[in-house]
C-alpha cells in the first residue's frame, strides 16, 4: 500500500483541474451562480481521480517493463547507440515518460523521453552517448511514469536494469578504416594514394609472362632457356615492425573537444596497428611517462589487435613528466630489429624539443622515427581574428609566435633526419596512416 502511495504522482491535468475549481469557488464568492459550477467541477474531479486510480493501480504485477539494449562496450570519442524498450502490459493505451539513469560521466540531468504505447504493445526509442574517457561506465535504473487517457495521476515504475559497460579505445573508427582498407577505399577518408618508388619488394618466383605484366621484370636468361617470355614475380616486403609509442606524460593531458591528447593518440594507435596488420606488418605498443609502463612486442597474429585493444584500454596515468632517457634505454634493449617507431607526444616550444633531442637522435640512429605532435587549434582561431584593440593585437602576436615555434620544431627534426607529423587532433589518424603508407611505398621500411 505504501509503495503504491509513494509511486503516486499527480499529472499535469490534475493541477489544471484544481486551478479551475479554485477559480470557480473564488468567482462564487462574488457571483453565487458559480457555486453550482464549482461543486460540479469538484465532483467531476473526484470521479476522474477514482477512475484514473482504478485503471492505474488495480492491475497487480509487472504492468510496465523496460529493457535497455547497450553494446558490450562503448567506443571512446564516438556516438554509441543505446536503445530502450518499454512494454505496456495494461489492457489500455498509456502515455509513458521515461527517465533513464545514464552514467554520471555524461552529466546529463535533463534526459526525458515521452511516447504513446498501445494496449499490450511494446514501444522503443534510441539515444546516442559520446564518451570522452576510457573506463567503467555504470548505467543505473530506468524510471517509467505511466499515465492513462485521463492524465490526472501518474504511476512510477522503477526498473532495476543496472549494468556496467566499459569504454574502450575507438574500435568504431578502427573498423571504419579497416573496411576502407580491405575495399581499397581509403581515399574516401582523406588517405592519399601513394605512388610506389622503385622496387621495394622481395623476389618470389619466375613465371610465364601474362599481358599487363611490367616489361621491366622480364628475366632474359630464363626466357632464353625456356624459349618463351618469362618474368620475375615480386611480392611486397612484409613483416616490418611498426611500434606506436605513446607519451602518457603531462603534455598529453591537454583537452580538445572534451578528449585529452592522450585519448586521441590511443585511438590513432589502435587504427594504425590494425592497418599495419592488414598490410602484413607487425604491430606493437609501448607506453611511457616517468617510466615505461607497458610494452607489447610487435606481432601479426590474428589475436594481436585484441591484445592491443586490451592493453590500450587498461592504460592509466598520473600525467607526470615524461622521461625520454628511460624510453631510449628500453627501445635499445628490447627492439633488436629495425622498426618504424611512431612517437605520439607534444612539444609546445623549440626549447622543450632540444632538451630531448639527444634521445630522439639516438632512437633515430637504429630505428625509423616519426615524431607526431599536435597543432593547437585554439591558437589558429586567435591567429585568424581581426584585432579591434591593443589587447587583441598582443594576443594575436603571441598566438603567431607559438605557431611559429611549432613550424621550427618540424625544421629542427628534419635537420637531423627525423620524420615528423604536425597535425590537429581530429586529423591524427588520417595523417598517421598517410605517413605510414608513404614510408612503406618509398622503401624506408
Determine the Cα–Cα distance for residues 108 and 128; give it in Å rounded to an integer: 12
- CATH 2.60.40.10 location in the chain: 1-167
More reliable by pLDDT, 203 or 227: 227
Average pLDDT score over residue span 200-223: 77
pLDDT digits (tens, 9 = 90+) for 287-333: 999 999 999 999 999 899 999 999 999 999 999 999 999 999 999 99
- CATH 3.40.50.410 location in the chain: 171-195+237-441
pLDDT of 3 > 50? The answer is: no
Determine the Cα–Cα distance for residues 166 and 212; give it in Å rounded to an integer: 51
Q: Which of 130-144, 234-248, 336-350 has the lowest mean pLDDT?
A: 234-248
Strand partners, 78: none
Q: Is 177 helix (H, G, I), strand (E, B) or coil?
A: helix
Average pLDDT score over residue span 427-435: 92
Structure confidence at residue 181 as a pLDDT band (50, 70, 90): low
Q: DSSP alpha helices (H): ranges in 279-389?
A: 304-314, 324-334, 350-366, 377-384
pTM: 0.80
Contact by Cβ (8 Å): 142, 101: yes
Q: Which of 109-113, 208-212, 240-244, 330-334 has the lowest mean pLDDT?
A: 208-212
- Among residues 331, 402, 412, the alpha carbon closest in space to that of 366 is found at 331
The superfamily CATH assigns to domain 1-167 is: Immunoglobulins (2.60.40.10)
Determine the Cα–Cα distance for residues 375 and 385; give it in Å rounded to an integer: 17
Average pLDDT score over residue span 252-269: 94
pLDDT of 40 > 80? The answer is: no
pLDDT of 197 > 50? The answer is: no
Determine the Cα–Cα distance for residues 236 and 196; give it in Å rounded to an integer: 11
Extended strands (E) in 237-325 = 241-247, 255-256, 259-260, 282-288, 292-299
Backbone phi, psi, residue 228, to 5°: -150, 155
pLDDT digits (tens, 9 = 90+) for 45-94: 788 778 888 888 887 667 899 999 999 999 999 999 999 999 999 999 99
Q: What average pLDDT does the chain have?
A: 86
Average pLDDT score over residue span 29-35: 70
Q: DSSP alpha helices (H): ranges in 112-201?
A: 171-182
The pLDDT of residue 204 is: 62
pLDDT digits (tens, 9 = 90+) for 359-380: 999 999 999 999 999 988 777 7
CATH number for the domain running over 171-195+237-441 = 3.40.50.410
> Grid coordinates in use for 202?
622481395
pLDDT digits (tens, 9 = 90+) for 364-421: 999 999 999 998 877 777 777 777 787 777 777 877 887 889 999 999 999 999 999 9
> How much of the chain exceeds pLDDT 70, in percent?
86
pLDDT digits (tens, 9 = 90+) for 125-165: 999 999 999 999 999 999 999 998 888 888 999 999 999 99
> Grid coordinates in use for 291?
617510466
Amino acid at each position: 500500500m505504501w509503495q503504491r502511495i509513494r509511486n503516486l504522482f499527480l499529472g499535469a491535468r490534475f493541477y489544471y483541474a484544481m486551478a479551475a475549481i479554485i477559480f470557480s469557488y473564488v468567482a462564487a464568492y462574488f457571483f453565487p451562480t458559480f457555486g453550482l459550477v464549482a461543486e460540479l467541477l469538484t465532483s467531476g474531479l473526484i470521479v476522474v481521480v477514482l477512475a484514473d486510480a482504478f485503471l492505474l493501480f488495480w492491475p497487480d504485477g509487472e504492468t510496465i517493463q523496460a529493457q535497455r539494449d547497450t553494446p558490450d562496450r562503448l567506443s571512446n570519442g564516438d556516438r554509441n547507440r543505446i536503445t530502450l524498450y518499454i512494454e505496456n502490459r495494461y489492457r489500455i493505451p498509456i502515455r509513458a515518460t521515461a527517465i533513464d539513469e545514464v552514467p554520471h560521466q555524461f552529466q546529463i540531468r535533463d534526459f526525458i523521453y515521452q511516447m504513446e504505447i498501445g494496449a499490450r504493445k511494446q514501444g522503443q526509442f534510441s539515444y546516442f552517448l559520446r564518451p570522452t574517457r576510457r573506463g567503467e561506465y555504470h548505467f543505473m535504473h530506468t524510471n517509467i511514469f505511466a499515465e492513462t487517457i485521463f492524465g490526472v495521476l501518474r504511476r512510477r515504475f522503477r526498473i532495476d536494469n543496472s549494468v556496467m559497460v566499459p569504454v574502450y579505445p575507438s574500435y568504431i573508427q578502427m573498423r571504419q578504416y579497416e573496411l576502407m582498407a580491405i575495399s581499397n577505399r581509403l581515399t574516401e577518408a582523406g588517405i592519399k594514394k601513394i605512388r610506389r618508388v622503385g622496387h621495394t619488394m622481395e623476389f618470389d618466383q619466375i613465371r610465364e609472362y601474362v599481358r599487363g605484366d611490367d616489361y621491366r621484370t622480364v628475366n632474359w636468361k630464363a626466357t632464353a632457356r625456356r624459349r618463351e617470355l618469362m618474368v620475375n614475380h615480386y611480392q611486397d616486403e612484409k613483416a616490418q615492425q611498426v611500434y606506436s609509442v605513446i607519451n602518457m606524460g603531462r603534455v598529453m593531458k591537454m583537452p580538445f573537444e572534451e578528449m585529452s591528447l592522450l585519448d586521441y593518440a590511443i585511438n590513432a594507435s589502435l587504427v594504425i596497428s590494425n592497418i599495419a596488420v592488414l598490410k602484413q606488418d607487425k604491430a606493437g605498443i609501448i607506453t611511457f611517462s616517468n617510466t615505461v609502463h607497458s610494452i607489447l612486442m610487435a606481432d601479426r597474429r590474428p589475436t594481436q589487435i585484441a591484445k592491443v585493444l586490451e592493453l590500450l584500454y587498461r592504460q592509466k596515468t598520473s600525467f607526470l613528466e615524461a622521461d625520454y632517457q628511460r624510453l631510449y634505454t628500453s627501445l635499445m634493449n628490447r627492439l633488436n630489429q629495425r622498426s618504424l617507431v611512431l612517437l605520439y607526444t607534444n612539444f609546445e616550444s623549440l626549447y622543450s624539443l632540444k632538451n630531448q633531442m639527444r634521445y630522439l637522435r639516438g632512437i633515430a640512429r637504429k630505428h625509423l622515427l616519426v615524431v607526431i605532435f599536435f597543432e593547437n587549434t585554439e591558437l589558429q582561431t586567435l591567429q585568424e581574428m581581426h584585432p579591434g584593440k591593443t589587447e587583441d593585437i598582443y594576443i594575436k602576436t603571441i598566438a603567431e609566435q607559438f605557431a611559429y615555434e611549432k613550424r621550427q620544431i618540424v625544421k629542427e627534426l628534419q635537420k637531423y633526419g627525423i620524420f615528423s607529423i604536425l597535425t590537429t587532433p581530429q586529423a591524427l589518424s588520417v595523417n598517421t596512416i598517410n605517413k605510414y603508407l608513404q614510408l612503406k611505398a618509398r622503401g624506408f621500411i
